[in-house]
Amino acid sequence: MRKPMTYPHREGVCSRQAHADLPKDAIYEREVGQEGFYGPATHFHHQHPPTAWCDWQGELRPRCFNLNHLDSERDVPWGAAALLHNQQCKIRTWRLNQPMTHLVRNADGDELLFIHQGQGDVYCDYGHITLKPGDYLLIPRSTMWRIEPSQAMFILMIECTDSHYQLPDKGLLGQHAIFDPAVLEIPKINHAFQAQYSEHTTQVYVKRHDKMNVITFPFNPLDAIGWHGDLAVAKLNWRDIRPLSSHRYHLPPSAHTTFVAGDFVVCTFVPRPIESDPGALKVPFFHNNDDYDEVLFYHSGDFFSRDNIEPGMMTFHPAGFTHGPHPKAFESGQRHAKTSTDEVAVMIDTRHALIVDEQASSVENTDYISSWQ
């Protein structure tokens, strides 16, 4: 793969490279880029923090939602209202405390479940698999499935409605970087799966065009005795992700991509060493991601670029304004106060604008807009 060589223009006082050795009189670097972090970009050096606004009027604003306060317990996952959505992606949280007594099937798209809390067993067309906190479960479109929790579950659901989930192209790093596909776990037709064969009447709730259909069988249709192919439900735990890091350069969020879809990506931030080179930026850089909306779901740990964020919260930074680290996090990075991160978070970047749904607005922290002051 070849890329044309370019020679960026330089004007005024600026660093020789992005995210490193910033000018002493303008330590606030701001990246303006296209196509996420893959396209053309310019780096400005400012005398004041680009997020130091003193007032904000209008709907385009950074937002924060405390999803711990939502009542999203439902017997059918899509009974939980969407929090954010566009034509390609729908984001929900779903709580499940009791075993599902029916099967479900999403005929609108693939589902990606991230287990924030709890654990349980999944029974699906492909067999049986167990879930624990930190697991991703990728469910292809039209798969039949149900969950039996052994502990109450809090699940982040990311529906892909216009394409299919795939693994990212790892390029020069090779296919085994970040996580080896060999760590992906596939359901088994084991004793647990065979034990649920039955001739009992079973209902399947099928979602199509966001409307529910109910199909009744005089037996349990999860009755496969075997299968072969390269399409299946798959599980990945964040602990199997070995993040890219560089001691001399702060890598962009795109370096942490876990799954890709047609017009959005899902990234995972996991614990890693913080840059140690004296001249390297040690916190996320201020940036305008003007082609993508950014969503972050906080799973565990201390998110090192944010203040007053707890597990189960979600932030939303729509395209069109500059955002970056909070003042305390920036100052901590200047002092190199931490040598590693302990955060785990799921990021969803969407190419098309997301709509904030009423369910999310009901648990919004409206003071978040002032958290950079």
- 6-15, 212-221, 228-237 — which is least confidently predicted? 6-15
Residue 129 is encoded by which pair of tokens? 């698999």
Rounded to two decimals, what is the model's pTM? 0.91
pLDDT, residue 60, reads 86
Taking Cα atoms as reference points, which of 255, 254, 274 lies closest to residue 264? 254
pLDDT, residue 45, reads 85
CA 112, CA 110: separation in Å to the nearest integer? 7
Using the predicted structure, report yes or no on whether residue 69 has a pLDDT greater than 70.
Answer: yes
pLDDT, residue 315, reads 95
The backbone torsions φ and ψ at residue 205, rounded to the nearest 5 degrees and listed phi first, read -90, 115
CATH dotted code for 28-64+242-370: 2.60.120.10
- 244-253, 294-303, 364-373 — which is least confidently predicted? 244-253
Using the predicted structure, report yes or no on whether residue 124 has a pLDDT greater than 90.
Answer: yes
Across 259-280, average pLDDT: 90
pLDDT, residue 260, reads 96
Confirm if 122 and 131 have CB atoms less than 8 A apart: yes
Using the predicted structure, report yes or no on whether residue 304 has a pLDDT greater than 80.
Answer: no
User: Which DSSP category does 133 fall into?
Assistant: T
Compute the mean pLDDT over every residue in the chain, rounded to the nearest whole number. 90
CA 129, CA 126: separation in Å to the nearest integer? 9
Using the predicted structure, report yes or no on whether residue 1 has a pLDDT greater than 60.
Answer: no
Region(s) of the chain under CATH 2.60.120.10 = 28-64+242-370, 72-238
The per-residue pLDDT for range 154-202, each reduced to its tens digit, is: 999 999 998 999 999 988 888 898 999 999 999 999 999 999 999 999 9
Q: Which residue has the tokens 């099967």?
A: 103
CATH dotted code for 72-238: 2.60.120.10
Across 46-73, average pLDDT: 89
Give the pLDDT band of residue 333 (cuts 50, 70, 90): low
The per-residue pLDDT for range 76-95, each reduced to its tens digit, is: 999 998 999 999 999 999 99
